Each structure stands twice: as structure tokens, then as C-alpha cells.
Amino acid sequence: MSRFLVLISFLSVFTAGVIGQESDSLLPYQKYRNRLVLYSDFGWSTAPMSISYPFPNGMKNVKFRNNFNPVLGFGFSYKWMSLRFGITLPNSVRSKNKFGKTKYYDLGFDFSFKNMYFDVDWHLYQGYALKNADRWNDTISPDEPNLIREDINAASFSINAWQFFKNDFKMAAFRGKTASYHRDVRTFYLKYTTNYHGISSTQPILPGELQDTTESKTSSNLIAAFDVGVVPGYAYVRRWRIFQFGIMGGLGLVLQSKIYTFDGTTRSFLGLAPRVDFKIIGGINKPKYFIMFVSDFDNKSIAFNDFSYKQTYYNLRLVGGIRLNVSKKKEAREAAEKKAKEDRK
């Protein structure tokens, strides 16, 4: 069933000092402040996860996969405002007989301030399939080996801020829609991150065949964590002729408060967890148009000794658009109207 998702994001950019021309040869990037950017994108978002444990039958992990639909998006950007809406296409990427149906919601907004970039994201995925369930359940057909569980939910809410150590690194130019680079740039950065994430169900997440009676974690119906931390990283943009490629990568630790619930009992722990930051963008980028491949990965993990849950929220998109110099057209039209009035006099 197709859904219409509307995502409105207002991007505010505050700059101090005197505003110069649209292109400054001393800067490695070019901002298109007065151009109307019209674009379209095609791609999808998904959130696979896994639970690892030395299960009694000799298995080491269980993989959970959601179903998802391609999304066709349309949007525009002009000065400080940006609007995008997406249409979820009706056909799912994976077979509904093998992976069922997943209801998913993705909402976010972002903005920049000086050498900082801020991002807020919320994700909710309802309905997963446990892959290759015929390994522990002999009543499942090998032709359709997955166990569909529409009662399993995965959720994530995060607030992130990136501080770049070099003023020439701008996220707008890295993303390549409202600005672009015309020479190479690299910088170290710090990512300040706050997250709540986890999985839940109305019944135990793992089926009875995989539950260990000596370990209550295997019978949990909720696994969740709240964590805060700082992730150091490195960003690099490569410009070659009409092509622009960018990559951001970081690795760090977060302080994590984690819980799991079973049979109405909740147990909580405090510890450290690894956190990975990774983005990659690349494609053709010229002043009048651009075609870019965009990817974003958000890795989550919670571990209780030898029992661990890992999940990656990621999206892949192909974005293409044009930049219209509406200010020059407006000035030319006003000049033509003024000249016509003078001629009539």
C-alpha cells in the first residue's frame, strides 16, 4: 500500500560579517544563494538488525530484515528555505510472502551555524522477518524460510552536532545541492551525539526455540538504550573536473544506559558502546545541474556480555537537480518592463 510522506525542513544559515559575491575565488566552494534549486531523488531507507548469542542449537546470530518500498522525492531550495516531499511507490523491494509488510516512518531536519552542522532524526519501523528460521523451526518450508513477525518494532531518536575544525568545510557544499566545491578540502571533526534506540515487542523478541532458560536476556521483549558521547572523525572532499566525491568517517565511544525487560521485570546497566559515523556522497556537480549518489549510515549497538543487538539505519538515494538563476531573470524582466514604460512615454 502506497503512502505519501511529506518532509519539510527549514534550513537556517547564520553568517557574521559582510556578505560577498556568490562566488569567491579565495574560497574552495561556491554557494548558490540566489539560485532556485529544483531536484528529484529516488532511493530507499531500511534498518536491518541482528542479535548475537551462543544459542543452545549452535547458532551464533539471528538476522532481522524489514521490507521496504522505493521512494520518489521532489523538492526545492531557495535562500534559507527548503521543502521536500516523497511518494512511497506501491511495490515493495522484497517479497511480501518472505518478508511480510513493514510500516516505517522517517522524519528529520537539519541546519548549519558557522562551523557546526546539526541534525535531528526520528525513525520507527514496525514489522520484521527473522531470516532462515527453518534452521530452528522444522515446520517452516525451505521455500519460504523466514519467520514473519509484524509485532516487532525498532525505534531511534537522535540529536547530532558536527564541529568541523576547518572553516572551509561546509556541509551544504559537501552534500552538493545548494553549494559545491571547486577544489579539494579536508578536515578533522568532532561529532557530539545523543541517542535513544531499541527494539520491542508484545511478546519475547526471540522465538521459544532460541530462548535459553538460564539467560533472561534471551526472553526479553524490550532491549533499549540511551547514550551520549563524542565521535572524532575525518572528512575529505575530492574535486576532479566535473566530479565531486566526499566521505566522512569517524569512530568513538558513547556512555550508554541500557535496559532489557522480560516477564514484567526490567534490568538496567551502565557501560560504554562503540559508535561509527559514516557518510559518502559523489557524482557530477556543475553550477547549472548536479547528479549525486547519496548514502548515510547510522549504526546502533547494545551489548550485555555475550548477548548483543546491532542495527544500522541507512538510506541510499540518487539525487538530480538544476539550479536556476532567478535573480538575474527577475532583474532582466524588471529592466525590460522599465524600458517599455519609458518607451510609451
> What CATH code is carried by the domain that includes residue 191?
2.40.128
pLDDT of residue 57: 82
pLDDT of residue 330: 59
Contact 55, 210 (CB under 8 A): yes
Contact 29, 287 (CB under 8 A): no
Model confidence at 31: pLDDT above 80: yes
Report pLDDT digits (tens) over 249-271: 999 999 999 999 999 999 999 99
Provide the total of helices (H) and of strands (E) in the chain, helices listed first: 3, 18
For residues 326-345, average pLDDT:
63
Length of the chain: 345
pLDDT of residue 17: 34
Name the residue with cell 527473522: 130
* One-letter amino acid of 284: I
Counted domains in the chain: 1
- As a whole number of angstroms, the distance between CA 37 and CA 150 comes to 40
pLDDT of residue 274: 95
pLDDT of residue 26: 81
How sure is the predictor about 284, in pLDDT bands with cuts at 50, 70 and 90?
A: very high
Please report, for residues 69, 87, 242, 327, the alpha-carbon distance to residue 324 in angstroms, rounded to integers and kept in the order given: 31, 24, 18, 9
pLDDT of residue 5: 40
> pLDDT > 90: what percent of the chain?
75
- As a whole number of angstroms, the distance between CA 131 and CA 24 comes to 54
Kind and range of the H or E run holding 120: strand 116-130
Work out the mean pLDDT of the chain and round it to a whole number.
Answer: 89
Report pLDDT digits (tens) over 171-226: 999 999 999 999 999 999 999 999 999 999 999 999 999 999 999 999 999 999 99
- As a whole number of angstroms, the distance between CA 266 and CA 305 comes to 17
Contact 245, 238 (CB under 8 A): yes
Contact 231, 277 (CB under 8 A): yes
DSSP 138-177: TTS-TTS--EEEEEEEEEEEEEEEEEESSTT--HHHHHTS
pLDDT of residue 333: 65
For residues 309-329, average pLDDT:
91
pTM: 0.85
Q: 138: domain range?
A: 4-344
Model confidence at 343: pLDDT above 80: no
For residues 98-112, average pLDDT:
91
**Among residues 10, 76, 67, 75, which one has the least CA distance to residue 44?**
67
How sure is the predictor about 247, in pLDDT bands with cuts at 50, 70 and 90?
A: very high
pLDDT of residue 34: 87
How sure is the predictor about 120, in pLDDT bands with cuts at 50, 70 and 90?
A: very high
* One-letter amino acid of 20: G
